Structure 1
Amino acid sequence: MIVTLTLNPSLDRTIEIAALDRGAVIRAAAARLDPGGKGVNVSRALLANAVASRAVVPFGGDEGRQLVHLLRQEGLDMVTVPVAGRTRSNVTLAEPDGTVTKINEPGTALSPGELDTIADSVLAEAREADWVVASGSLPPEVPGDVYARLCRRFAGAGIHVAVDTSGPPLTRALGAGPALIKPNLEELADATGVAITCVGDVVAAAAKLRAAGARTVLASLGADGAVLVEDGGCWYGEAPVAEPRNAVGAGDAMLAGFLAGGGSGETALVEALAWGAAAVSLPGSRMPGPADIRRDAVRVSRPDPGRLLTSPLPRTPVTVRAAATGAAPHPPPSPR
């Protein structure tokens, strides 16, 4: 079983529009509301493919109750932890050419007592688990070393931990020796200081993260595919998508596929790429099921170090984090 933890879950509203015209009144072509948050999405993808998973989900306020309701409607196996704050809401604007603009609320703070309760809930559920996935952004005021502390606690209980986050929470988690990390292209460059223009740069950056403590690095490169670096070897893979619709949640589907495929080696990379590509072709934050996944479209080989990357930085979707209490917004990171 795979246990997921999402410290900053969300309600994700996706609105399909013809074009984003700032300052204009825009009529939506379609809209949908999905449960959100990286760990939540990993569990949703696993559920869609009949892989045992349990999500630990803190929730608060009316939005939190609606999130829990939506997850129960999907049949997600979960442990809910009530908190004092309000669950955040995010908005995604999706254009026909695949361009996505995402506006993320920051979420609300978790108290030390709430963090302890959440960690205890994860540990209780993880005693018979193969993996714990700790992923996503942190709510305001949550210490940047929280994933590192959780990693040490779970690893001390003999549990494999996968970390999927960015910035200081990622770099501080490295010293705790996570079994797996899944950075995207910008996170890889940010964590290592390596300028990344080709596959060889990706491999070199992944090697630096492994030297810093991560055992396995699954680097997602958007339209350029993914690179896997681990003790058993190094692979490059790609899975073309003919008609991309929405990349939101694709990285979470990729991580879910990798773990469902065994969490190591070429077979797991094929699953990761097939699940991620399927998610890109679906509307909203919908997770792919067996009928959506095409493993035959995936190509895996040894990396060609000189192969140039085609994805610009930043890539779409552009994510803007909504400022709290009038504070200046954070600069937009690369998509996940």
Structure 2
Amino acid sequence: MILTVTPNPSLDRTYEVPRLDRGEVLRATGDRMDPGGKGVNVSRAVAAAGHRTLAVLPLGGPAGDVVAGLLETEGISVAPVPVAGHTRSNISVAEPDGTLTKINAAGPELAPAEAASLIDTVRAHAAGADWIACCGSLPRGLAPAWYAELVARAHRAGGRIALDASGPPLVAALREHPDVVKPNAEELAQATGRPLTTVGDALRAASDVRDMGARAVLASLGADGQLLLDDSGAYFGSAAVAAVRSNVGAGDASLAGFLAAGGTGPDALAAAVAHGAAAVRLPGSVMPAPADLDPAAVTVTTDVPLDRVLKEPAT
């Protein structure tokens, strides 16, 4: 069972348009509404793969009620933490070439008692979890060290932590040695303070993040593939994708695949790549089911292409 923690969940509305023309009235060719937030997406992908998951998240207002209902419709157990503020609503506009324009709201500010209740709820349900995945931005009211406190408490209770965060919350949590962190190229660059232009740069940055405290690093490099760096060595995984429909939640699907496959080693990396490649072929933030995966298209190797220039360099 994989328990997910999403401190700043959302209700996500995605519109597909022929072209985004600023200042014009646009007619959507498709639209969908999904529960959102990185941890929420991990739970959705885990459930789609047929595994048990529990989503812990603060919810408030009408949007919070809709998020809870959508999750339950997908067969996901929810442990809501009631908050006075309203769960945020986000909007994404997707174009046929894969270009995605996102408008993310800030979300509610959590009171100290609500922040404490969120940690207490995680602790109350952590005993039965194989992994605890802590994912996404922190809402107003939570200090940058909030994730670090959660990692420390989970480790004292014998739990394994996967962390997908960025900026100061990531750096602060590294001191508590999360079992695996899942940064993208931009987050690697931010954490290490230097730009990434090649896969080799990303590998060196991942090594630096391990030196900062992470026990393993699963790095998403977008269309260039994924890196896994742990005690057994470095691995590079990739899969060709003919057409990208939406990249919303692709990294979250990758993390779900990685954890559902055991959360360690090249086989788990292969599962992560397969889930990420499947997710970008689906609309909105739809999470892939087993039928959407193409494991045969995935390549995992210890021969990391160090000199390959990243399609999307990070600074």
- Class of the TM-score when normalised by the shorter of the 2 chains: over 0.9
Q: Which residue of 1 aligns with 2:261?
A: 261
Q: Secondary structure at the match of 1:259?
A: helix
Contact 2:196 2:314 in 1 (8 A): no
Give, as a single letter, the amino acid of the residue that structure 1 aligns with 2:102.
Answer: K
Deviation at 1:97, TM superposition (A): 0.2
Say yes or no: does 1:67 pair with 2:67: yes
Contact 2:195 2:314 in 1 (8 A): no
CA distance in 1, matches of 2:199, 2:13: 34
Q: Which residue of 2 aligns with 1:121?
A: 121
Q: Secondary structure at the match of 2:312?
A: coil
Q: Secondary structure at the match of 2:178?
A: coil
Q: Which residue of 1 aligns with 2:107?
A: 107
CA distance in 2, matches of 1:239, 1:75: 29
% of aligned pairs identical? 54
Give, as a single letter, the amino acid of the residue that structure 2 aligns with 1:224.
Answer: D
CA distance in 1, matches of 2:314, 2:181: 21
Q: Which digits, 9 at most, give the CA deviation of each residue in 1:274-302, with x for residues without a partner?
A: 00110100001110001101111111112
Give, as a single letter, the amino acid of the residue that structure 2 aligns with 1:154.
Answer: A
Alignment TM-score, normalising by the size of structure 2: 0.98
CA distance in 2, matches of 1:26, 1:259: 40
CA distance in 2, matches of 1:267, 1:132: 20
Contact 2:110 2:142 in 1 (8 A): yes
Deviation at 1:311, TM superposition (A): 2.3
1:32-181 to 2 correspondences below 5 Å: 32-181=32-181
Contact 2:197 2:313 in 1 (8 A): no
Contact 2:195 2:313 in 1 (8 A): no
Unaligned runs of 5+ in 1: 315-336
Q: Which residue of 2 aligns with 1:17?
A: 17
Contact 2:181 2:218 in 1 (8 A): yes
Say yes or no: does 1:247 pair with 2:247: yes
CA distance in 2, matches of 1:52, 1:63: 25
CA distance in 1, matches of 2:51, 2:194: 36
CA distance in 2, matches of 1:50, 1:192: 37
Contact 2:185 2:313 in 1 (8 A): no
Give, as a single letter, the amino acid of the residue that structure 2 aligns with 1:160.
Answer: R
Deviation at 1:313, TM superposition (A): 4.8
Q: Which residue of 2 aligns with 1:310?
A: 311
Q: Which digits, 9 at most, give the CA deviation of each residue in 1:231-274, with x for residues without a partner?
A: 01100111111111000000000000000111011000000000
Q: Which residue of 2 aligns with 1:183?
A: 183
Q: Which digits, 9 at most, give the CA deviation of each residue in 1:155-177, with x for residues without a partner?
A: 11111111101111111111111
Q: Secondary structure at the match of 1:12?
A: strand
Give, as a single letter, the amino acid of the residue that structure 2 aligns with 1:249.
Answer: G
Count of aligned pairs: 314
Supply the RMSD in Å over aligned alpha carbons.
1.0
Q: Secondary structure at the match of 1:162?
A: strand
Alignment TM-score, normalising by the size of structure 1: 0.92
Pick closer, same or farther for the CA change 1:28–1:92 going to 2, 3 Å.
same
Unaligned runs of 5+ in 2: none
CA distance in 2, matches of 1:277, 1:5: 24
